[in-house]
Structure 1
Amino acid sequence: MHNPFDELHNPKLSLSMVFGTPSAHDAAGLPRARLREALLRKRDELPQRAQREAALDTALDRELRGLQARCIGAYCASRNEYDALRVLARVGAELGWPWRIALPVVQRAERAMRFCAWAPGQALRAGPYGIEEPADCGLELEPDALLVPCVGFAADGLRLGYGGGYYDRYLQHRPRVLCIGVAFDACHVEGLAAQPHDRPLDIVLTESRRYLRAPSPR
């Protein structure tokens, strides 16, 4: 019997790809709110969840070991998101911590977020949206790479989040930050219309692919 996860060991699939593979979800004409609901439902009901997470663990492990960064911004998984922080902490410890970890702290009144230093074992607390964040933001950091959770991602590198716009506002004046989206294959979308504030992802990792955003035409 063919196992789709065996394809991960095909060397051709380890190469970067330009966005544009067939989508599992067509968003043409669908409002973002309805698309978001559909994708969240799909993520909640993913078959072979454990195998998919293990495959994404392998992809993220490989990406982190080749990443040149002084500080990596991550996130605490919620709502059935993939837990990238677990792999980030493990690889960091194995490599002797070549980079620091920073986690987002939401400032709801200002509709903004900042990143605070965090290390495994340090206390977390529930933030304004119930997402865990550092209990004590004793040191604010500026990550040069971000691991970004995706509700969905599109053929041109667009990301669909929860609709709050926090990542887009944070990145608005930080064009050099490398943005690495992490998502499941089922969250790949076609037909997602760009909005003026959208900041495309540079890379998206899924359980079977490493997508690289095509360079902008000159």
Structure 2
Amino acid sequence: MEMEQHDCPFIDTTLDYDVSFSAVQWEFDASQRELETRMLVQGASRSALDNGVEALRAHPNMHEYQLRKRWDDTAQIQTVIHETDAMARIRGHDGFITGPFYIEDGSELWHVGFDSGTVADTALSELGRNNEFNVMSRDQLGGPLVQETVQNVNAGLELVEACRDLTDVEREALTAAVEEGYFESPRETTLNELAEQFGISAPAFSKNLRRGQQKVARHVVQTFELFAESETDGLDETVGR
């Protein structure tokens, strides 16, 4: 569902600033009624990111905020927010999260599940009292769908980990090579031209670029393996019927 909460600091921030949030990890503390998250924040520019994270940090519903890592217009943050009205209504009907959050332009993409269609209907009715939302799709979860959701989340996290593994020098080398067309065919730039941008020799730039490529490629291959394992599992289930 597409959710518009009126007491969510992340949604409020995306209304005022050109930033988006993607949840990497989340955990709800039932005793404290707080949600702890690790988020990736993407800004339209460095200044948009600066203004967005500062507004988020100062939001009245933000309990704890920590900047864990930053590179250019992207940051990784760890937060704790108070339970929102929508969270309380979902949890009040034993609802559960079935996929990652994504927040942009004042709305939040939720994947939630309930134990039955009747319970879901009741929860959605109550949810509409203080919140605006749009059910984008509604399915009965089964083994293959759950497996696909987990697979996609794990694949996404694997690629996030690839970005985190890069040093600033490696990231800058990869970014320049892509933006200047080094990987195009035919190439639109040379190693010498790229190296001149950074004031280093072509062999030094090539070394930085190769290291970055190797790290990203390693995680991409691991992502391929996740998909391959999923396809194998699905084949085994079909054969076993």
TM-score class, shorter: under 0.3
TM-score (norm 2): 0.20
Q: Which has the higher contact order (CA 8 A, sep 6+)?
A: 1
Calculate the TM-score normalised by the size of structure 1: 0.21
Choose between structure 1 and 2: higher helix proportion: 2
- Greater radius of gyration (CA): 2
